[in-house]
Structure 1
């Protein structure tokens, strides 16, 4: 069997948040009643193990707050685990926060070159693909390409970011809900690009709440619940597990 291109072994990461605790009587005298912050940790992911083979397309499924996006950031190297190991044997094309790295003071053209270079694309390559990238981003972006991106809508930034990142030759694609953004024409471009990249043998890890996208692109599913990997099977098995978990209703707001 081929060596896994992504491998997690007992993976875990701990986040820390501050909470204000109630002041004790003694603290009223010592600190003048000022409450002291108390660090409290939680584990968005813990004891997670799986392996992804080259060319595999895996959907990551679960409700909000179950660690899905955190997992993608661990794979991308944006986060460092506190427990276990995540081995990634190949460069990553992160279709995550697509406007990350943009400078609001620079134009769309300047940001195209900036973001591309941050991901290892050379200036000659970007110049040769400039028209193709801008055409993919759409006519609205083309008309504003020499305008500072502070004047862009969030959708325009996402379209330009996707157009740049889709040029990366890296073997691993990490996608986080990006195909849910934009109009129907842009989504059709995203789908066609994803299918082309997968046909080239890329490896895909896709976070999505869209069942049609998950079943269209993925054959395998990882279902997460409360930061724990509960199901590692077919995408249908993972979706069935997702549906079996009842949604906790939001309690009504108290009357004033």
Structure 2
């Protein structure tokens, strides 16, 4: 159940990137001239994006590829720093984005669980208490002392989801992670997310899967051409998005 207390507050967010190999602007570029001027070879991935998310809300972010959805999620996660505006997050985040990052190939599964959970803010005592649950959820009990690099891609994703979904952070960030894995494990992930939402967690969910968006989200943000085209109940947002997509 949502409250009137803010979880995420975004104001006039803007992020720009380079089209050439240099990628995002450097610190030197920031001091070379106005941060607001667009230079040759640059484009705005997001601009003038403003919204609020209340605690306990379930927000779905939709839009075609390249419209800034994952960039927005990374801003909320603190992975990217905006070039314009700002985003304030009230409480910690459990990021289910690029979730296999931070795992070390030569370390065992056991060692990686302790490392990955620790890097994500879990204390040693918490890791010890939750270790068996993490391994069992990921269904890799027989591989606990196997080097991580020898796991299949599916096993790696299951392990990463299991670790992150055990975090107690109030805000859950999800970026298409449910698109991977077999059907049985996806259903297991769905049930886990349902449990977290029942606990009152806030969900910020980027997906192309309309069924998932309708299942988990009550409100939608529609990004188009790097801007916020619509902020409304998820059913209305999906209807608008589908209509725009149909007309090209």
How much is the aligned-residue C-alpha RMSD, in angstroms?
1.8
Task: Specify the SS of the correspondent of 2:41.
Answer: strand
The verdict on how the C-alpha distance between 1:108 and 1:247 changes in structure 2, with shifts beyond 3 A counting, is farther
In the TM superposition, what is the alpha-carbon distance from 1:52 to its structure 2 partner?
Answer: 0.3
Distance 2:223 2:40 in 1: 26
TM-score by length of 2: 0.88
Q: C-alpha distance in 2, partners of 1:41/1:148?
A: 42
2-side partners of 1:214 and 1:17: how far apart? 31
CA offset digits 1:152-209 (Å, max 9, x no partner) = 2221111000101111100000001111211122111111110110011100000111
Please tell me whether residue 233 in structure 1 is matched to residue 232 in structure 2.
Answer: yes
Say if 1:17 and 1:39, in contact at 8 Å, map to a contact too.
Answer: no
What is aligned with 2:26?
Answer: none
2:155 paired with 1:156: yes
d(CA) in 1 for partners of 2:69, 2:90: 20
Structure 1 CA distance for aligned equivalents of residues 59 and 245 of structure 2: 24
Question: Which secondary structure does the structure 1 equivalent of 2:221 belong to?
Answer: strand
Report the CA distance shift for 1:39/1:155 in structure 2 as closer, same or farther (over 3 A).
farther
Change (3 A) 1:93 1:120: same
Deviation at 1:120, TM superposition (A): 1.0
User: What is the CA distance between 1:247 and its match in structure 2?
Assistant: 6.6
Matched, 1:189 2:191: no
* SS at structure 1 position matched to 2:19: strand
Count of residue pairs the alignment pairs up: 230
Q: Does 1:113 align with 2:117?
A: no
Deviation above 4 Å: which 4+ runs of structure 1? Answer: none
Aligned residue for 1:103, secondary structure, equals coil
Q: Say if 2:220 is the partner of 1:221.
A: yes
Query: Is this contact kept in 2: 1:231–1:237, CA < 8 A?
Result: no
2-side partners of 1:247 and 1:16: how far apart? Answer: 30
In the alignment, does 2:33 pair up with 1:71? no
| Structure 1 spans left out of the alignment, 5+ residues | 20-37, 250-256
Contact 1:173 1:204 in 2 (8 A): yes
Q: Say if 1:248 and 1:40 are closer, same or farther in 2 by CA, change over 3 A.
A: farther
Alignment partners' CA distance in 2, 1:176 and 1:149: 23
Deviates more, 1:5-14 or 1:120-129: 120-129
State whether structure 2 residue 19 is matched by structure 1 residue 13.
no
User: Residues 4-153 of structure 1 correspond to what in structure 2 (within 5 A)?
Assistant: 4-18=6-20, 40-138=41-139, 141-153=140-152
Long gaps (5+) in structure 2? 22-38
Deviation at residue 102 of structure 1 after TM alignment? 0.6
The offset of 1:39, in angstroms, is 6.0
C-alpha deviation, 1:70, in angstroms? 0.6
Q: Which has the larger radius of gyration?
A: 1
Residue 252 (structure 1) aligns with: none
